[in-house]
Amino acid sequence: MKQLFFISVAATIALPALANAQNSAWLQDRSRAQGPGFRLGNLELHPGFGAEAGYDTNVFYEDSGDGPRDPVGSAIFRLTPHLFLSTLTQERTQEGEGSGSSGGPMVQFQAGVSAEAYFYLASQAKNNVALSGDFDLNINPKGRFGFRIYDDFRRRIRPFTGRSDDRRRNYAVDNNLVGASLIARSRGGLVQASLGYAFRLQYFESNTFAYANQFGHQISGDVHYRFLPSTSVFWDGTVDMTDYYNADAGSAALALANNWRLRTRVGLNGVITPKLSATAAIGYTATFVDDPAFDDYDSVLALAGLKLRLTPTVTLDFGYERENKNSIVGLYRTQDRGYLDFQWLFGGSFLLSLNTWVARMKFGEIFDATGMSLGQRNDVYVSVRLFGEYRFTDYLALNATFAYLGDFTGFEYQVTDATGMAIPDPAGFNKVEAWLGLRVFY
């Protein structure tokens, strides 16, 4: 049983995780976090608790040497309880507990809540609790017509930018994404199309950053034409409107303007041979800014990646991506990224994963609150994350995480010191994190 669950975990963590160095690694993929679970009728309940100790060399993303303040390192303790609820997972339905039902279930549902309590030993950082809650209801997921409704709330509390003084600020930011989509499939599932709407909100709890609060409307659609063995030709497109509803706040460090972004692409995705999968897509994006002071922008999008299954338990992903993203700095950024992900499951009990990417980022022109141009910003961003976990039993695991983030840029913000004098603050940083912890789960 343990091996089965762990293999299923290994199969899923190769998928795009919301992986970042800020959260507990296992929380970023639900199937990784949960064990066999308690069965409650047609539902499964998965509780868990983790305790970790770690060290962050640069809590406030500060530049070493050239900035007005030196990076602050801190030991951190993190406690992470979670509770997940879902309809029966694939492991159960395939192991004979699915009461012999044929076909897929009419309803798939999953929900979860988790918290991460951070305790910093450095006095400059504030102890706080991050929260997450989500649900995802999928009606008739395998039928001709389906409907999906979902919500994802996250409260992050870890610092995300530099300091201008020694006060302990509140860096909490709340993100919520709620949406619904209609899904239609041809009789045999050869063609699948979906159309959805989502509303997103980003809310900085501190007045200091309130000027960057934003909400957005997002309309998205996609069409997939599937063929054997497990491959599809697809089109997807998104229209995304961003509204900085608090941009005139007195604390504003930047001038922000409402904008909307169009994004569309076509491509191929899926299995080529049992050992090789590929993704290739090309598209177009355009950003239109309401304020004529900002330039509109358009560009080509691209995605090309390969996934090699070196052995049944070893996978290697690598590729290139050109994307355009929403950004507070510059309103948008274009990033050319190369990525490499490696995963190794050993003996059904030990999992090792490496996620790395290097990106060249180019931001839109940046204006300060007075409308003065701060010029363009170009970054080279490096992210490396190494995660290992050993499962002693079905419910107890030891894990370790090492992460490096580096931002190499010549761009400098203008901040004011206590006397009101403007001083440059380099935007680059280097940050290393290391964590070691135990977790129990079921």
Partner 1 sequence: MSRFKRVLHTLVLTGLLASASYGLAVAQGEEDGAGDPEGSVDAQRRANLSPEEQLEEAHRIIVRGEDLSRRVQAMLDEARQERDIIRVTCVNDKLTQVNANLRTAQQRFEQLQDAVEAQDSSRRNHEYTVILVLGQKFVVLDREAAQCIGQDIFETGATRVLTEIDPGTPDDDPTLIYEIDDPPAPFIPPPRSGDR
Instruction: Tell me which residues in 199-238 interact with partner 1 (CB under 8 A).
Output: 206-209, 212, 222, 224, 226, 228-232, 234, 236
Stretch that binds partner 1, among 45-53, 112-120, 128-136, 157-165 (CB under 8 A): 157-165
The CA-CA-CA angle for residues 159, 437, 390, to 5°, reads 130
Least distance from C-beta 279 to partner 1, angstroms? 5
Nearer to partner 1, 42 or 327 (CB): 327
Q: Is 166 left (phi over 0), alpha (psi -120 to 50) or beta?
A: alpha
CA–CA gap between residue 193 and residue 206 (Å, rounded): 41
Q: Which of residues 243-262 bind partner 1 (CB under 8 A)?
A: 251, 253-254
Cβ contacts of 108 within 8 Å, gap of 6 or more: 86, 87, 136, 137, 138, 141
Q: Residue 290 CB, nearest distance to partner 1 (Å)?
A: 20
What value, to the nearest 5°, has the Cα angle with vertex 42 and ends 36 and 47? Answer: 35
Nearer Cβ to partner 1, position 251 or 258? 251
Contact between 303 and partner 1 (CB under 8 A)?
Answer: yes
Site string for partner 1, 57-96 (x = CB under 8 A): ----x-----------------------------------
Select from 45-53, 285-293, 309-317, 392-400 the region that touches partner 1 (CB under 8 A).
309-317
Indicate the residue among 44 and 317 with the shorter CB distance to partner 1. 317
User: Which of these segments, 34-42, 45-53, 118-126, 162-170, binds partner 1 (CB under 8 A)?
Assistant: 162-170
Q: Does 309 bind partner 1 (CB under 8 A)?
A: yes
Contact 405, 429 (CB under 8 A): yes
Q: Which residues ranging from 331 to 350 are in contact with partner 1 (CB under 8 A)?
A: 333, 337, 339
Within 339-398, which residues bind partner 1 (CB under 8 A)? 339, 355, 357, 363, 381, 383
Stretch in the footprint of partner 1 (CB under 8 A) among 103-111, 122-130, 237-245, 326-334: 326-334
Residue numbers 92-131 binding partner 1 by CB under 8 A: none
Task: Give 15 or 40: the residue with its C-beta nearer to partner 1.
Answer: 15
Minimum CB separation of residue 398 from partner 1 in Å reads 24
Q: Is 25 in the site for partner 1 (CB under 8 A)?
A: no
Q: Determine, following the binding rule CB under 8 A, whether residue 169 of this chain makes contact with partner 1.
A: yes
Q: Does 54 bind partner 1 (CB under 8 A)?
A: no
**CA distance readout (Å), 391 to 21, 311, 402:** 21, 21, 18
Distance CA 231, CA 383 (A): 30
Binding segment for partner 1 (CB under 8 A), chosen from 1-9, 94-102, 274-282, 293-301, is: 274-282
Task: Rule CB under 8 A: choose which of 279, 313, 349, 378 binds partner 1.
Answer: 279
Does 284 engage in binding with partner 1 (CB under 8 A)? Answer: no
